[in-house]
Amino acid sequence: MHTRRSFMGTITLPAAAAAAGLPLRPAKLRASARDVAEALRRHAGAPAEVARDEDFWFEVGRAFTVDRTLVNLNNGGVSPSPGWVQEAMKRHLDYSNLAPSYTMWGVLEPQREGVRERMALEWGVDKEEIAFTRNASESLQTMQLGIDLRRGDEVLTTTQDYGRMITTFKQRERREGIVLRQIKIPVPAEDPAEVVRRFESAITPRTKAILACHMINLTGQILPVTQLNAMARRHGIPLIVDGAHALAHFDFDLGELDVDNYSTSLHKWLFAPHGTGLLYVRREKIRDVWPLMAAPDAMDDNIRKFEEIGTHPAANYLAIGEALTFHQGIGAARKDARLVYLRDYWAKPLLEHDRVRLHTSLRPGFACGIANVQIDGIDPAQLIAHLWDRHRIISVAIKHDEFQGIRVSPSVYTRPEELDRFVDAMTGVVKKGLPA
């Protein structure tokens, strides 16, 4: 359990220089690690109370170097990092370039092990089960391409899974003759037993793997992966878990999920450097998965075989430690509560209009900070173009065979006034339509 006192003991103050390529800002506009720690000390309370404490979140927001001339509501795609995460990465990169074969390989690379241990401790797994990758796609493709399949073998997923992962299995269809089967699940899905039932009813004697999202990127829907994995185990079928949007987003313990593998991006909700991800594989399952790039047979049981990708930077991965400290300082439960609060802050006023539909559940446990909203009669692509052109608001259009809308994902640095701008802009479209 990370206390505010332990947070104070682990953080370091960032350098005073502004991020490279960005305009210099007066020091008073940037929050240091000490500022955030002081805010934690002043604003103690239950997560639901802190979620509404704008003084606290103001200090958290000041840790970022974001552009406040626009409203970024696409943090689910990729997130900015706090200033001191950026500065830590630059510091490691500068040191790497002094003499890379010594400073990067000999000095910095071994320090990855400390970050590995901290990440494992934070999410309740063994450090020998944690590999660092470049993103969730790399982690997932390690699992998707690393399991042995034969011609005619079937893999099962939903019609709402991430496009790149569907493409991965479709390539195996073309190349190896496997069969991809996709099922539909409700939008939103508020009955976990029904989700499990739909997966189980689609299993055939040829089913050799199942792929499921922990959080669906299209709507923010949280799926019951623990129950799905238990069902898959009963059938002797491996479940591949896509946690790209879940880790460090809502509050859960990876060890308590009781899954055999888990793939995620760290540059989304952990706010780690861009191009960092994580792959968890239960220790006894490591041998069963081939790495994307070849590793010697001596590494068959070693989680590090999934990191055998050739020359790579040390800086990005070491700076994960700073992002983890930031996450611990805020507190997973407080972060979860704040993201739910921000979602409800914009979603509930919009739902007062008859033409607005939400494809995301507002019930506890079925979603968190990501939601998908639709205005009947309005094309999502045209809507996001209008939001950007007229209001400088960034969002994402979602056009799916079963639903459509725009995906909205604020973050811990998002101010309520920015969501007011979004609500006002959307309300204007509801009442007046898009301008000609």
pLDDT (tens digit, 0 to 9) for every residue of the chain, 436 residues total? 334 333 333 343 333 333 333 333 333 455 665 666 666 666 668 999 999 999 999 999 999 999 999 999 999 999 999 999 999 999 999 999 999 999 999 999 999 999 999 999 999 999 999 999 999 999 999 999 999 999 999 999 999 999 999 999 999 999 999 999 999 999 999 999 999 999 999 999 999 999 999 999 999 999 999 999 999 999 999 999 999 999 999 999 999 999 999 999 999 999 999 999 999 999 999 999 999 999 999 999 999 999 999 999 999 999 999 999 999 999 999 999 999 999 999 999 999 999 999 999 999 999 999 999 999 999 999 999 999 999 999 999 999 999 999 999 999 999 999 999 999 999 999 999 999 8
pTM value is 0.90
Instruction: Indicate if the alpha-carbon torsion angle 325, 245, 222, 70 is positive or negative.
Output: positive
State whether residue 240 is helix, strand or coil. Answer: strand
Question: What structural domains does the chain harbor?
Answer: 14-74+331-429 (3.90.1150.10), 103-323 (3.40.640.10)
Residues in the chain: 436
- Give the C-alpha distances (Å, rounded to integers) separating 116 from 79, 126, 301, 318: 21, 9, 17, 9
Q: Which residue has the tokens 């739909």?
A: 198
The edge-to-edge listing of strands for the beta sheet with 154-158 is 130-133, 277-281, 261-265, 239-242, 207-213, 154-158, 179-183
Contact 183, 198 (CB under 8 A): yes
CA atoms of 103 and 27, how far apart (whole Å): 31
User: In terms of DSSP bridges, do strands 130-133 and 154-158 run parallel, antiparallel, or are they unpaired?
Assistant: unpaired
- Between 320-330 and 332-350, two packed helices, what is the crossing angle to 10 degrees? 70
Q: Which of 233, 222, 221 has the alpha carbon at shortest distance from 261?
A: 233
